[in-house]
Amino acid sequence: MRLSGLHLRCADPAAQAAFYTDALGMQTLDGSRVGYAGQDADLVLHPGGGGYAHDPAQRYWKIGITLPNLDHAVRALRDKGVAVSEPKQFLDIGYMAHLSDPEGFVIELLQWDFEDNRVSDAGDADAPLAEARIGQITLRSGDIQADTAYWKEQGMQLLSLQDVSAYGFDLHFLAFTNEQPPLLDLWAAGNREWLWRRPYTLLEFQHIEQAVFAPVPDLLGIEVSGQDSAETDPSGIPVLPG
């Protein structure tokens, strides 16, 4: 089993694909599918969308792109005219920056190492996205027990728990893998740089206890390679066979 795709509806799939390939270094895999080489998930871009606006009250949040040197990537994107937030170390979570694609879908850039732990020669300044991958697909959850139970039944395992109580939530990361984090305590900050280096895509939940989140019509589904038939997760998001 593998988390293999995120299906999004767009007003202009061709323009979206051009952004992800030209700005973010992905490859066109077929007419509607873009992604990085490797075992991480792809983006599958469908027509018929438009008018998407990011809203923290919605079930879907973002994708996270993990990479070795965030500063190189931010400089390259700004050189292409792409607006990117200033990189910052967010608590003991990670060194990150944010941007939006042309239709407003949020993208997080997340460095493998914490800001002060990155080695001086990390990444390639001339090809800063050469080792990038879609590291996370992030949903919001008001009932994390139901969400984690569903995905564990599909074959995922819980790899990390992260306390962000200062901002009113915590984070839960699951993946289709047999790997074990280096530290047995899933809350341990010492697991996080290991987590950001995984070659596969994690399913991340931002958990706010008992919150109710609205569906996103332009989110058409999460694709799982190895699944036999379509179904829905506890909130009604389609889970599609890959």
DSSP for 20-82, written as a single string:
HHHTT--EE-SSSEEE-SSSSPEEEEESS-------TTBSEEEEEEEES-HHHHHHHHHHTT-
Tell me the pTM: 0.97
Instruction: Kindly list the distances between the CA atom of residue 69 and the CA atoms of 72, 74, 120, 154, in Å, as whole numbers in the listed order.
Output: 6, 9, 9, 33
Question: Per residue in 109-119, pLDDT tens?
Answer: 999 999 999 99
Question: Per residue in 172-214, pLDDT tens?
Answer: 999 999 999 999 999 999 999 999 999 999 999 999 999 999 9
pLDDT, position 51:
82
96: left (phi over 0), alpha (psi -120 to 50) or beta: beta
Question: Per residue in 72-103, pLDDT tens?
Answer: 999 999 999 999 999 999 999 999 999 999 99
Fold designation for 2-241: 2,3-Dihydroxybiphenyl 1,2-Dioxygenase; domain 1 (3.10.180)
Rounded percentage of the chain residues whose pLDDT exceeds 90:
98
Q: What is the mean pLDDT of residues 6-15?
A: 96
pLDDT, position 43:
98
Q: What is the mean pLDDT of residues 208-228?
A: 96
d(CA 54, CA 149): 27
pLDDT, position 31:
77
pLDDT, position 24:
98
Q: What is the mean pLDDT of residues 210-226?
A: 96
